[in-house]
Amino acid sequence: MVWTSIKRVIKAGAVNFYRNGFVSLSSVFIMTITLFVIGGVIFLSATLSASLEEIKSKVDVNVYFQTSASEEEITALKGILLRLPEVKDVEYISREQALENFKKRHENDELTLQALEELPDNPLGAVLNIRAKEPSEYEGIANFLKSENALSSGSTPIIDEVNYYDHKTAIDRLSNIIRSAQTLGLALAFLLVVVSISIAFNTIRLAIYISREEIGVMRLVGASDKYIRGPFVVSGVLYGVSAALITLALFYPLTYYLGDSTEDFFSGLNVFRYYTLHFGEFFLIIAGSGIALGAVSSFLAVRRYLNV
């Protein structure tokens, strides 16, 4: 008996979906826009994250050591830094490598190279390049390094200079930009999704309004609320499924067309490759959102007509 009622509800919902062709098409169109916005928010989040990660990867703190500092002391300090929760990576550059890098940077400056050759010894010390997980954490690392000047060879400090304080203004500005971009992105995404869902909800209410007389007749003959709601919820689910399939199909040629451009502009993120690699996640999010939006909107929209 229960299974028979379920089949009748599903059949009635499918009939409503196909019978109200123009209204169904309008509902699917609006929901496609809604789901397209949701998908666009996912792409926006991915591109923003890739861009911010690229910017963060270019920021570091350099620790310059005294020429008297031994490799063992520097390696020991590197090990301590790597155990800090704020530190993402530490790169060691030896005195010899630092000298080679200096020569490459000044290969067209003959006067500087000539002066360097006249020196009896390598004037450059080793360097540690430190990358933090977040730009806001560099200050804590710099303060830690300042205290680590106690590490010494005899009574001589091994750390010559930490350049964080030279870059502090730029790092603080970057931290503010990242926080503002993330906040703005979330706010914009939330606003677009709310607006789209509101439009879709009202469109489905219009579809149900057209069937208000039918709802009234069903109510008069003693149909239960669940039985009245059922076909409209099924129709809403069909709106969502149709809109999800259209949205997923539209994203394929669009991301393919934009793939190379986004790879050049957004730090190597190819949106087409990202879409194909994460298609399963996209399918679940878009299809799930469409089904939930259609079912919930229909369930709520039909409620006002149950007292007819």
Question: What domains can you pick out in the chain, each with its CATH number?
Answer: 2-55+174-305 (no CATH), 58-165 (3.30.70.3040)
Residues 113-168 have pLDDT tens digits of 677 676 777 777 888 888 888 777 877 888 887 775 545 545 567 777 777 766 66
pLDDT above 70: residue 174: no
CA dist 232 and 301 (Å) reads: 9
| Comparison of pLDDT for 189 and 249, the residue scoring more | 249
pLDDT of residue 8: 64
Using an 8 Å Cβ cutoff, are 73 and 151 in contact?
Answer: yes
pLDDT above 50: residue 242: yes
- Report the chain's mean pLDDT, rounded to a whole number: 75
Using an 8 Å Cβ cutoff, are 306 and 219 in contact?
Answer: yes
Pair of tokens at residue 30: 């609006």
CA dist 138 and 127 (Å) reads: 17
Interval 303-308 mean pLDDT: 59
Beta strand residue intervals within the chain, DSSP E: 61-65, 87-93, 127-132, 152-153, 156-157, 159-162
CA dist 172 and 106 (Å) reads: 30
Sign of the dihedral through C-alpha 290, 295, 300, 302: positive
Query: What three-state secondary structure class fits 59?
Result: coil
CA dist 153 and 151 (Å) reads: 7
pLDDT above 50: residue 308: no
pLDDT above 80: residue 292: yes
Residue 275 pairs in a beta bridge with none
Interval 6-19 mean pLDDT: 63
Interval 62-87 mean pLDDT: 83
Sign of the dihedral through C-alpha 255, 261, 262, 264: positive
pLDDT of residue 150: 45
Using an 8 Å Cβ cutoff, are 270 and 173 in contact?
Answer: no
Interval 71-91 mean pLDDT: 84
pLDDT above 50: residue 23: yes
CA dist 41 and 47 (Å) reads: 10
Distance of CA 194 to the CA centre of its chain: 19
Interval 15-32 mean pLDDT: 71
In this prediction, what percent of the chain has a pLDDT beyond 90? 1
Tell me how far CA of residue 24 lies from CA of 31, 77, 137, 161, 246, in angstroms.
10, 67, 53, 69, 14
Pair of tokens at residue 90: 């530490």
**DSSP letter, residue 307:** T
Q: Is the pTM of this model over 0.75?
A: no
Using an 8 Å Cβ cutoff, are 233 and 280 in contact?
Answer: no
Interval 257-279 mean pLDDT: 77
pLDDT above 50: residue 282: yes
Interval 55-81 mean pLDDT: 79
- Band of residue 43 on the pLDDT scale cut at 50, 70, 90: confident
Residue 64 pairs in a beta bridge with 127, 161
pLDDT above 70: residue 96: yes
CA dist 304 and 113 (Å) reads: 85
| Comparison of pLDDT for 284 and 150, the residue scoring more | 284
Pair of tokens at residue 57: 């990867």
